[in-house]
Structure 1
Amino acid sequence: MSLTQQPQFGVGDASFQAAGAEAGIRRLVADFYRIMDQKSAAACVRNLYPEDLSLARDKLATFLTGWLGGPRRYAERFGPISIPQFHTRWNITQTERDAWLACMQDAIALQPYSATFADYLLAQLRIPAERAHQASQLARGCPMS
């Protein structure tokens, strides 16, 4: 790759590397949950989690590691996951979805990511966030607009 070429995020481990590999992803996740604890607007989504966030941090970090093209740590440790199906246990409205994404946006902004990767990552995270929202609402018989 020449110095003028940008890595093609989403191909191979380019996204994983751009996120700082496992250490960088763990920093992102730690910042994400810290922000969630601090933002009053995120209380609606924080209330979906247990008080102790240790397991949630570990699961999100291991999921993101594989999702971004790194080692498939989540499947190795916790088995397969369907993001939409997993989240049907909670009532995830647009409010929770948006609060989750706002916390992630703030956490991403704290990372030493390039602007291009930060934008890419947030755009990619909107997809599973929306799928979790839709699956949660469909599980409750709520019509989707």
Structure 2
Amino acid sequence: MVPQRTFYERVGGHETFVQLVAEFYRGVAQDPPLRDMYPEEDLGPAEVRLRMFLEQYWGGPTTYSDQRGHPRLRMRHMPFRVTPTQRDRWLHHMNTAIDTIADRLDAMDEHQMRAYMAHAAHAMVNTFEDPEA
């Protein structure tokens, strides 16, 4: 019996997620309204946390939970006003980042990744009071 490879393994493992998350944060750094949601001076710690989370979610190492416990994404994001506009900005940068690794993804894996990111982005919205609207 041939062991099944995880999504993480199929798409290139650690290096793919390093590139994905670095590209995502390049976009965030250039988007002041979204950047304001990141309290650290340096986006580096947020980049590491997101990379570890995504690697674990997609079948890679469990470093995120080993270091930070259960993800509890909604709870961890509650201190921030996540509006539909912020969601859309986040998703724009994430989809742009996925574009940079698309050559490593077959059509099904790409669809699955984009669908998860959209679902996660929608789940983080915690207020509809959008001062930008």
Question: Which TM-score applies when normalising by structure 2?
Answer: 0.83
Kept after mapping to 2: 8 A contact 1:48/1:90: yes
**Whole-angstrom CA distance in 2 between matches of 1:76 and 1:29:** 20
Kept after mapping to 2: 8 A contact 1:37/1:43: yes
**Whole-angstrom CA distance in 2 between matches of 1:26 and 1:55:** 13
Gap regions ≥5 residues in structure 1: 2-11, 141-145
* Equivalent residue for 2:108, pick from 108, 116, 127: 116
Given the alignment of the two structures, is residue 45 of structure 1 paired with residue 34 of structure 2, yes or no? yes
Letter in 1 for 2:75: Q
Given the alignment of the two structures, is residue 21 of structure 1 paired with residue 13 of structure 2, yes or no? yes
**Whole-angstrom CA distance in 2 between matches of 1:90 and 1:19:** 32
Percent identity over the alignment is: 29
Q: How far is the alpha carbon of 1:13 from its aligned partner?
A: 5.0
The RMSD of aligned alpha carbons is 2.2
Moved over 4 A (4+): none
How many residue pairs are counted as aligned between the two chains? 125
> Within 5 A, what are the aligned runs for 1:1-145?
14-38=6-30, 42-49=31-38, 50-111=40-101, 112=103, 113-133=105-125, 136-137=126-127
In structure 2, the residue corresponding to 1:52 is in which secondary structure? coil
Kept after mapping to 1: 8 A contact 2:73/2:124: yes
In structure 2, the residue corresponding to 1:89 is in which secondary structure? coil
Kept after mapping to 2: 8 A contact 1:13/1:68: no
Question: Which TM-score applies when normalising by structure 1?
Answer: 0.77
Letter in 1 for 2:121: A
Larger deviation: 122-131 or 108-117? 108-117
Kept after mapping to 2: 8 A contact 1:25/1:61: yes
Q: How far is the alpha carbon of 1:137 from its aligned partner?
A: 2.4
Q: What is the match of residue 8 of structure 1? A: none
Letter in 1 for 2:90: W
